[in-house]
Amino acid sequence: MTGTYKDTEKITIDAVTQYYMGDATLLHTYIHPQTVLLSVGKGQIIVGADAIRQNLANRNNSGIRYDIESIMCKSYLLATGCCYTMLDSALLVCYPNQMLERVNQRITVIWKYIKEKDLQKEGVAKEGWYGLHLHISIGLETKEAPIDASHLSINKLEELMNYAQTAERVALRDIKQSVHYISRSKIVRFEAVAHQTVAYLSDGQTITMFRRLKHLEQDLGEGFVRTHRHHLVNARYVEVARNYKLFLTDGTILPIPRESFRKIKQLLIQQAVKIDLE
């Protein structure tokens, strides 16, 4: 169940109940007619109210496939008065044709009524409506005509990176197409492993990507030093460079090629603050 809705109106449990009984009339009344809807959880782009109605009524599989991210959550009991909640977060999505005026973000939930006899099987404590799948549905409103879905391409997600990146935050897309918005100061280093690149963060977490180090080096610019063909390091985490090795504040020790040692030392001196190089 996914939809883009007028203003701040909310779909009641009655609309959900009727939908599961095969009547989507109440849901239809909330659909904005001039909207391109991206249903992230479903991985579909549906254009216009008619296509959305057809999809809700299960008449056909409208839209094109566009798998960005699928968000799953453990079952949890939701308030029965509302199945749609405003999402307040930094998640942004940018599209290649740059026709956006505003991005409205919402959480929608696929509901399931779990009866008492199924509690143990479903792993819940009491009978009631449960939201089993959490979807982020993003309605895009423009001053012009709705965005042509054919313009959207997963090969152009580089546009997302450029849009989201600021002086303090960068967007990193992992191998599952999830986009993480990370403060530059929290990135310790990047390491190329086979055909993938792993980002190591200051809190111990890692993000595995398909991006090449040379592209990350170009995008990140000042403050990040390519110390090896397999390593890109945030200079603020360098403790000392000595004996052809780089010692980081988190205890990591990285090799420095002999032929590049002097050049890398100079780069670290130029870009890093309070780094003691020997």
Q: Mean pLDDT for the chain?
A: 56
Please state, in angstroms and rounded to a whole number, the distance separating the CA atoms of residues 86 and 108.
9
Q: Where in the chain is the domain with CATH 2.40.50.1020?
A: 165-271
pTM across the whole model? 0.41
Q: What integer is the mean pLDDT of 146-167?
A: 39
Higher pLDDT residue, 97 or 258?
258
Bridge partners (DSSP) listed for residue 37: 46, 139
Check residue 61 and give its pLDDT. Answer: 33
Q: List pLDDT tens digits, range 32-80.
A: 333 333 333 333 333 333 444 444 443 333 322 222 222 222 222 323 3
Q: List pLDDT tens digits, range 78-124.
A: 233 322 222 222 222 222 222 222 223 333 444 556 678 877 776 66
> Closest Cα partner for 182 from 155, 158, 200, 195?
200
Q: What are the phi and psi torsion angles at 138 (to 5°)?
A: -115, 115
Please state, in angstroms and rounded to a whole number, the distance separating the CA atoms of residues 100 and 239.
44
Check residue 92 and give its pLDDT. Answer: 24
Report the top-level CATH class of 165-271: mainly beta
> Closest Cα partner for 138 from 109, 159, 108, 163?
108
Helix (H) or strand (E) holding 198: strand 196-201
Name the pLDDT band for 206 (thresholds 50, 70, 90). very high
